[in-house]
């Protein structure tokens, strides 16, 4: 465990969260309030008990098990008001950890059970993010997710709608869901459309499946970034190619441990990747499902992998470079974060 003093110092560092799922980060209190207002039945009315239904804990055995809490939350995220609210609250949560920028991802096709159109879902989320951004000063962008268990036509519709919002709040498309049951190679055709429409791509890969999934994502699907990439260690040749091409790895340590992408910190390759010079970035994945925040993720790195404050800041710089922002936007964001880092540098020796 890092000291309380070190934790609060890490909390103040400027940060960037590029891998953050909207539906995996809904607060238990919000779920309870939305369910009451909408007449949705929940397994419990106690916030404390509800938290245990919404998060997986350390005893989670697989990615498939990790994905189960999402079904509960999806029940209340079927209206514009609910989507706007959770998006706004996500920005508020990010601010608490001093995030300067977040890329928020979600699968709009999962929010049409009560008749919402994909565009209405996107508009509602973007409205909440914009309000949050104005209120808390955190820059936000959207990534929409295709789902591995959905039909190709549904996923292609998500991509076509994403194209309409590209550079109007949306910056990329993703592929999420059960990587083990639905291999990356099944989605060549779907992502050919994204490439054709020139939408940047990030793909969850090397989490529940091996290095071949990462290879497929990069070489066949055209991924510019990889979500997780924990199992890249299985293929040395590919690892060197990912390094050479500076393809960022969006790593989410606590989630990666919970989904059993790694069987313990002793085997988690983050320090190895970082020292090898790979473009490692660190994120939360799902703040509620994983019961985490980016400060907690950073403190794990300090505690288990001996990252220094300077190295933690380097992860943030990597994340800015890896973001789907424009060149000028990245430059502005980097200047802002570097200024804060420099100011904080003077008090380093007191806490580390
Ligand atoms: Zn994810």
What separation in Å is there between the alpha carbon of 254 and the centre of ligand 1?
12
What amino acid positions are annotated as catalytic residues?
207
Structurally, the chain folds into a number of domains equal to 1
In a domain, 165, yes or no: yes
Q: Is residue 349 part of a domain?
A: no
The overall average pLDDT reported for the chain is 96
Q: Has residue 98 been placed in a domain?
A: yes
The Cα 82–Cα 173 span in angstroms is: 23
Count CA within 13 A, CB hemisphere, residue 25. Answer: 29
Phi-psi region of 14 (alpha: psi -120 to 50; beta: other; left: phi over 0): beta
Tell me, what's the pLDDT at 352? 53
Regions of the chain short of the pLDDT cut 50: none
pLDDT at 58: 82
Q: Give the pLDDT confidence score for residue 57 in this predicted structure.
A: 84
CA of 231 to the centre of ligand 1 (A): 15
What is the pLDDT at residue 211? 97
Say which residues have a Cβ less than 8 Å from residue 287's Cβ, sequence separation at least 6: 20, 24, 25, 93, 293
39: CA distance to ligand 1 center in Å?
A: 29
CATH of the domain at 149: 3.20.20.140
The Cα–Cα gap between 13 and 192 comes to 39
Tell me, yes or no, whether 147 lies in a domain.
yes
Contact assessment for residue 100 and residue 121, using Cβ atoms and an 8 Å cutoff: no
Q: Has residue 92 been placed in a domain?
A: yes
Residue 343 CA to ligand 1 center (angstroms) comes to 32
Question: Domain range spanning residue 9?
Answer: 4-344
Cβ–Cβ < 8 Å for 280, 270: yes
Domain assignment of residue 265, yes or no: yes
Q: Is residue 143 part of a domain?
A: yes
Distance 250 CA to ligand 1 centre (A): 9
| 36 within 8 A of 121, measured Cβ to Cβ | no
pLDDT for res 351: 54
173 found inside a domain = yes
pLDDT, tens digit, for every residue of 250-277? 999 999 999 999 999 999 999 999 999 9
pLDDT at 349: 60
- Structure tokens that stand for 190 in this block: 């779907």
CA distance 102 to 140: 5
């Amino acid at each position: 465990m890092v000291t309380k003093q070190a934790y609060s110092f890490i909390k103040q560092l400027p940060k960037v969260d590029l891998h953050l799922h909207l539906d995996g980060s809904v607060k238990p209190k919000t779920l309870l309030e939305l369910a009451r207002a909408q007449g949705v039945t929940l397994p419990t009315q106690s916030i404390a008990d509800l938290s245990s239904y919404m998060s997986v804990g350390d005893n989670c055995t697989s990615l498939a098990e990790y994905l189960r809490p999402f079904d509960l939350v999806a029940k209340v995220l079927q209206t514009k008001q609910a989507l706007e609210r959770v998006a706004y609250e996500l920005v508020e949560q990010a601010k608490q950890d001093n995030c300067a920028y977040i890329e928020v991802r979600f699968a709009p096709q999962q929010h049409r059970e009560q008749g919402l159109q994909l565009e209405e879902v996107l508009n509602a989320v973007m409205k909440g993010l914009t309000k949050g951004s104005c209120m808390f000063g955190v820059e936000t962008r959207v990534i929409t997710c295709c789902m591995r268990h959905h039909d190709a036509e549904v996923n292609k519709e998500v991509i076509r709608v994403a194209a309409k919002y590209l550079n109007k709040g949306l910056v990329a498309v993703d592929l999420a869901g059960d990587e083990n049951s639905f291999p990356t190679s099944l989605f060549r055709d779907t992502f050919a459309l994204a490439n054709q429409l020139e939408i940047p791509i990030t793909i969850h890969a090397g989490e529940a499946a091996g290095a071949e999934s990462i290879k497929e994502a990069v070489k066949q699907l055209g991924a510019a970034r990889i979500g997780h990439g924990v199992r890249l260690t299985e293929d040395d040749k590919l690892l060197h190619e990912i390094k050479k091409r500076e393809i960022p790895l969006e790593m989410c340590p606590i989630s990666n441990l919970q989904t059993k992408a790694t069987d313990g910190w002793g085997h988690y390759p983050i320090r190895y990747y970082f020292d090898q010079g790979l473009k490692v970035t660190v994120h939360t994945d799902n703040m509620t499902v994983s019961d985490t925040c980016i400060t907690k993720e950073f403190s794990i790195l300090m505690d288990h992998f001996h990252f220094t404050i300077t190295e933690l800041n380097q992860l943030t710089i990597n994340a800015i470079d890896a973001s789907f922002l424009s060149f000028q936007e990245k430059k502005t964001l980097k200047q802002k974060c570097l200024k804060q880092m420099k100011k904080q540098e003077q008090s380093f020796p007191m806490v580390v």
